[in-house]
Structures are given as C-alpha cells and as structure tokens.
C-alpha cells in the first residue's frame, strides 16, 4: 500500500514516529497523479512538486505535518487560480485565502491543487465544468457526481489524501457516495463561507471529503468555528470532533424515513438498507420508522431558492470585473455578450429560473412560497429529532450513472439529489459514508443529525464504519500520464 492510500491520521502518526517521511508521501502522491490523472482528470491546477515539498518541510512541526490537501476550485486560494469551473473566471487569481484554507495552513497543511467541479457548483455529475468532465475511478465511463466531483474522484483514486468541497444541495455527499469515500456537510454556519464563491448564500457550506470518518472529524475540527468575516458563522467554541468517536452508539434512537425508501430505489439498494439496519441494531441502536412528509417538495423548493440566490449572486459577473470581458461598444452589449460567452448552459438555465422567481408579480407566488415550504421541511426534521437522535437513508437513489446519460435531461439530473437536498434546506449536518455496492459500484449511506449535532453524527458514522468494514476505494489502472507541474483548461 502506497503512503498516498493511507488516511491523514495514520500518516500523521507515521511522520511523528519517523516511520515515513514527507518526501515519501509527496512522491507517492505524484506517482499516482502521473499514472492516473490523464484518465480521471480530477484537477484543474496542481502545485509544483518541488515547491510543495519545500512548503511541507517548513510545516513539519505543525499538527498536519505539511500534508497536502486538495481544494475545490470555488474556494479562494492564494497562489492558484479559482475558476469555479467557468470560463468567466478562467484566469482569476485571488489575493487572499478563504478562512477554511487559512485555518488548514495554520495547522500545517499545504495545498496540492484545485479540483474540477460543475460550473459555479451547479450540477450533480461534474459534466458541467467549462473545461472537461471528471471520471469516476471505479468505472472511467461513469461520472464521479457533483458538484465536488473532482475532490471526490481525487480522494477515491488516491490522487489526494483528503480534500475540501462545498455542499449547497448535496455537492459533497452525493459525489462522496458515488466515489465510495466519506463526505461531510456541516451545520449551516459552522464553517465560515468567507472566501467561498457564492452560489446560494443561505445554503452553501464548505466541508471535508476524506478516506475515512476519523479524517472527516479531524478536518472539521480544524476548519470550523466563528469567523467575524462571515455574518452567518456560528460560535460553537473550539470543538475537537475526534474525541469520543469510539464511544459507540448503544441506546441511540435512529430514524429511517419511509419517504427515503420510496419508488426509485432498486431491490439491490433496498437490500443494502436492510444490511445497514441490521448493523445499527447490532451496535445497540434502536431503529424506528419515521416520516418526513414534505420530502416530496424538497427538489422544487430547493431549485427555486437556490436559483433565485444564484441569480442575485452571479449578477456581479458583468464583464466589467473579473476576467471575462467581451469587446462591445455598448454597456448593454458588454453585459450580455460577456455573460453569453462566460456562462455555460446550466448556469444560464438557473439564472433565468431564479430571475423569473424574483421578478415583480411572481416573487410571492414562487420564491415566497418556496421559503414557506422550506420552513415546513425544517419543521419535519424538528419533530423527527424529538423522537430520534439521528436519521439514516441512502445518499443517492442510484450508484454512479454513465457520462452523458443525464446531461440532456435536467430533471433526472436534479433528482440525483433527492435525498441530500432536505438536510440542506433545513441547515442540518449530514455525512455520506460507504455503505456497500449496488450494481458493482459504491453506494452511500447518509446520516443526518440535528442542528450542531456533528459530534453525535460522526460518532455513529465511525461506529458503522468500523462494524461494516467497507473496502478502501479502488483505483483504476490506465495509461501513465507524463509528469507536469501544472494541469489546466
């Protein structure tokens, strides 16, 4: 097993004990990149190997020991472009780090590179990137999920030790499920959004994508906490989420919503759910059937709210600022031509939908009604958490689908997030962990916790992970790629 296949917490122990060196870790990572990256295409930009090694050595005395982390390309990073997978920001280089990045660097992390994504985080397959699609390491003809597809694919293929992604309606959890890794969406506000390029401001959250639950807890402990630069951030103290992971879940009441086992799940997927129930029961938890009755309205509610907020947030991309600028003699022409050339089809679709929902005469009928339904969805969870301590179910209704299979059918693509969107609308923490296979491909188990219930959530996920013992993510073979310090559009 290469050092690049080991989780962060194991590598920290090996480095502290002198059983491995940071040079060996980085060499193994770049060997994996050289072998696989031309097939998977998880990255938009990579650090120079020698520069990265020098930075890592300079951080050897800090908690993360200089270990490299991959970062989704909508999170601001000094020294790298932040393109959001869009032609509009193709040459944009931030002058500051996002708070989450600054906190990782303070703990001794280095940045391996920026990962591919659906443009402005709008997508569920990583096919909406303006540059190229990313492929799933379990089957190169299938998608890795989205919008954090590059981050999940890199971790699954051992091209990254761990990564950061962002989750608006499932963009960390769904690709983690499809790639067979761990993906955590924190409670809204627990991780600062400062430096995260906004898609839907009332939903966006940064979170970790990792090889195991302990790494997710480790990274969350480092990036969470109040930030004066984000007015929505929460002051939850400095919590070490790795503490108490092994305490077990004896006596936990766990709910399984009947709405999460509705039409659309195959017999094989339902069999996986039965396995999960048996394992949680063996661990001492009590399983209960519950109801989240407004689940059926989650997708239309989400796409109205998220698109409306995207319409407002993306208005700043007008051809005057940033890097895309059309040559037109009129101001109106400058705006329209720059946006036409800079935005892809899915971004345009959502901007138009959101602009319509916010238009005079339609605001209350569409956006206002969606916000009221959002409240009903949150109240469903509030009632459920009076009865149970955690909620479980599939992360996605299907395993990874084939490239091109849903790109022409937006509704089918949107339904990929049917189980992840409700927790996002309610602002709740949720995690996807490997839950076996369906059709020979990874199938994710999602656990949802109450507001600021990350400790309980991670404890249950860790207990299941240890009992279930899922196989480590497989990595593809494929042609060797030539060594290069930079990849790009």
Catalytically annotated residues: 72, 147, 171
φ, ψ of residue 60 in degrees (nearest 5): -60, -25
Find all residues with CB under 8 Å of 375, minimum gap 6, and list them.
none
Distances in Å between the alpha carbon of 299 and those of 69, 259, 309, 409, 426? Answer: 32, 13, 15, 15, 13
Tokens linked to 329: 């003699």
Q: How far apart are the first and last CA of the chain?
A: 32
Find all residues with CB under 8 Å of 112, minimum gap 6, and list them.
29, 46, 47, 52, 68, 69, 70, 71, 160, 161
Three-state SS letters, the chain: CCHHHCCHHHHHHHHHCCCCCHHHHHHHHHHHHHHHHHHHCCEEEECCHHHHHHHHHHCCCCCCCCCEEEEECCECCCCCCCCCCCHHHCCCCCCCCCHHHHHHHHCCCEEEEEECCCHHHCCCCCCCCCCCCCCECCECCECCCCCCHHHHHHHHCCCCCCEEEEECCCCCHHHHHHHCCEEEECCCCCECCCCECCCCCCCCEEEEEECCHHHHHHHHHHHECCCCCCCCCCCCCCCCCCCCHHHCCCCCEEEEEHHHHCCCCCHHHHHHHHHHHHHHHHCCCEEEEECCCCHHHHHHHHHHHHHHHHHHHHHHCCCCCCCCCCCCCCHHHHHHHHHHHHCCHHHHHHHHHHHHHHCCCCHHHHHHHHHHHHHHHHHHHHHHHHHCCEEEEECCCCCCCECCCCCCCHHHHHHHHCCCHHHHHHCCCEEEEEEEEECCEEEEEEEECCCCCHHHHHHHHHHHHHHHCCCCCCCCCCCCCCCCCCCCC
């Amino acid at each position: 097993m290469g050092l690049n296949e080991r989780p962060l917490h194991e590598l920290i122990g090996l480095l502290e004990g002198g059983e491995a060196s940071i040079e060996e870790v980085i060499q193994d990572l770049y060997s994996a990149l050289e072998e696989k990256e031309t097939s998977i295409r998880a990255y938009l930009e990579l650090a120079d190997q020698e520069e990265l090694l020098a930075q890592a050595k300079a951080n050897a005395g800090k908690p993360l020991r200089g270990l490299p982390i991959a970062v989704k390309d909508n999170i601001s990073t000094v020294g790298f472009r932040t393109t959001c997978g869009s032609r509009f920001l193709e040459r944009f280089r931030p002058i500051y780090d996002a708070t989450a990045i600054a906190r990782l660097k303070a703990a001794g992390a280095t940045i391996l590179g920026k990962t591919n994504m659906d443009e402005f985080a709008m997508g569920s397959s990583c096919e909406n990137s303006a540059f190229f699609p990313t492929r799933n390491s379990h089957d190169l003809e299938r998608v890795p999920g989205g919008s954090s597809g590059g981050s999940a694919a890199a971790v699954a293929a051992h091209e990254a030790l761990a990564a950061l992604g962002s989750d608006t309606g499932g963009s960390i959890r769904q690709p983690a499920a499809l790639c067979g890794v761990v993906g955590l969406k924190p409670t809204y506000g627990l991780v600062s959004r400062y430096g995260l390029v906004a898609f839907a401001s009332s939903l966006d959250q940064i979170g970790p994508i990792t090889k195991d639950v302990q790494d997710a807890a480790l990274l969350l402990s480092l990036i969470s906490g109040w930030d004066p630069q984000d007015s929505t951030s929460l002051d939850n103290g400095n919590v070490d989420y790795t503490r108490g992971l092994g305490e077990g879940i004896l006596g936990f009441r766990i709910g399984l919503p009947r709405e999460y086992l509705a039409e659309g799940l195959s017999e094989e997927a339902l069999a996986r759910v039965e396995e999960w129930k048996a394992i949680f029961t063996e661990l001492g938890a009590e399983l209960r059937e519950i109801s989240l009755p407004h689940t059926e309205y989650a997708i239309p509610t989400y796409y109205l709210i998220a698109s409306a907020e995207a319409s407002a947030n993306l208005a700043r991309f007008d051809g005057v600022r940033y890097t895309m600028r059309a040559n037109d003699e009129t101001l109106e022409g400058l705006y329209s031509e720059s946006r036409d050339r800079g935005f892809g089809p899915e971004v345009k679709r959502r901007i138009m939908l959101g602009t319509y929902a916010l238009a005079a005469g339609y605001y209350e009928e569409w956006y206002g009604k969606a916000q009221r339904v959002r409240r009903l969805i949150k109240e469903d969870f509030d009632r459920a958490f009076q009865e149970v301590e955690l909620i479980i179910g599939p992360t996605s209704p299907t395993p990874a689908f084939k490239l091109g299979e849903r790109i022409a059918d937006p509704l089918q693509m949107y339904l990929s997030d049917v189980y992840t969107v409700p927790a996002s609308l309610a602002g709740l923490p949720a995690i996807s962990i490997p839950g076996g296979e369906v059709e020979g491909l990874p199938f994710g188990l999602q656990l949802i916790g109450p507001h600021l219930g990350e400790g309980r959530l991670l404890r249950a996920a860790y207990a299941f992970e240890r009992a279930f013992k899922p196989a480590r993510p497989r990595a593809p073979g494929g042609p060797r790629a030539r060594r290069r310090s930079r990849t790009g559009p």
